[in-house]
């Protein structure tokens, strides 16, 4: 009980409110594999933990992965390197250009896992960045435009608004989802054990995430979104 209370105390004071709609958006976001975010110079910043994952995926040592796939980070972020860019499009060296797929998808760096809805830049004032060249974002915006007036979604929003305990449980589940997505499986299971919250069915979770996202984010600006990919 004390363990649960201290977790809830830590959770309510340390985790910023702005993180939850970002996680909810990432849960419902679907990548369309257009490959756009894997092109361009110096985007994919990797740290030691990322290098270990890349090494695992390629069956080589982290130092071999560092030499083969990375360059020094021009931004000089502490302990970080950037993935090499190659070819005329300056594609990430781990992108299968023909198939437009990441060759190490299950072991991809954390920065790639959080794109595009989780905002890695804590200084950025926008809670969510709707990237104009991401095909998945274009479809996400279209889906939001259709769903924001859907009576079932409105009912789900009302249900969440009326039940504070359900809302709190959803925030914890969002955090658990994030920890899992970042590979912190044991930590995620520990949170479920401490709080007694079990992950719901995938379809129910997706529905709650959509309702939560639409109840926390203003959607008036969506109509100005233009896909430029």
Query: Which residues of this chain interact with ligand SF4, rule CB under 6 A?
Result: 31-38, 44, 83, 92, 94-95, 102, 104, 108-109, 112, 115-116, 134-136
Q: Which is nearer to ligand SF4, 87 or 187 (CB)?
A: 87
User: Minimum distance from CB of 39 to ligand SF4 (Å)?
Assistant: 8
Residue 8 beta carbon to ligand SF4: minimum distance, rounded to whole angstroms: 33
Nearer to ligand SF4, 34 or 215 (CB): 34
Q: Measured from the CB of residue 199, what is the shortest distance to ligand SF4 in angstroms?
A: 24
Cβ burial 82-109 (10 Å sphere, 16+ → b, else e): bbbbeeeeebbbbbeeeeeebebeebbb
Q: In this complex, which beta carbon is closest to ligand SF4, that of residue 58 or of residue 190?
A: 58
At 166, list the tokens: 């359900």
Distance of closest approach, residue 101 Cβ to ligand SF4, in angstroms: 8
137 contacts 130 by C-beta, under 8 angstroms = yes
Beta carbon nearer to ligand SF4, 21 or 109: 109
In the sheet with 45-46, reading across from the earlier edge strand, the strands are 45-46, 81-83, 70-72
C-alpha to C-alpha distance for 211 and 207, rounded to whole angstroms: 6
Closer CB to ligand SF4, residue 14 or residue 121? 121
Asked whether 30 and 136 are in contact (CB, 8 A), the reply is yes
CB of 112 to ligand SF4, least distance (A): 3
Question: 71: which residues sit within 8 A by CB, 6+ positions away?
Answer: 81, 82, 83, 84
Q: Indicate the DSSP class of residue 217.
A: S
CA distance 66 to 82: 9
């Amino acid at each position: 009980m004390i363990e649960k209370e201290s977790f809830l105390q830590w959770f309510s004071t340390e985790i910023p409110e702005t993180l939850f709609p970002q996680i909810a958006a990432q849960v419902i976001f679907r990548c369309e594999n257009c490959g756009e975010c894997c092109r361009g110079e110096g985007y994919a910043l990797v740290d030691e933990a990322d290098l270990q994952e890349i090494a695992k995926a390629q069956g080589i040592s982290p130092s071999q992965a560092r030499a083969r796939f990375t360059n020094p980070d021009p931004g000089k972020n502490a302990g970080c390197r950037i993935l090499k860019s190659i070819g005329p499009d300056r594609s990430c060296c781990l992108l299968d250009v023909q198939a437009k797929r990441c060759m190490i998808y299950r072991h991809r760096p954390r920065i790639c896992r959080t794109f595009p809805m989780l905002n890695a830049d804590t200084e950025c004032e926008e809670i969510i960045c709707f990237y104009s060249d991401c095909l998945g974002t274009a479809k996400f915006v279209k889906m939001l435009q259709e769903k924001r007036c859907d009576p079932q979604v409105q009912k789900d929003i009302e249900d969440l608004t009326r039940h504070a305990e359900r809302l709190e449980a959803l925030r914890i589940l969002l955090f658990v989802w994030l920890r899992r997505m970042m590979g912190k499986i044991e930590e995620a299971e520990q949170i479920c054990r401490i709080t007694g919250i079990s992950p719901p069915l995938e379809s129910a979770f997706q529905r709650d995430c959509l309702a939560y996202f639409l109840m926390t984010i203003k959607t008036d600006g969506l109509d100005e979104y233009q896909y430029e990919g």
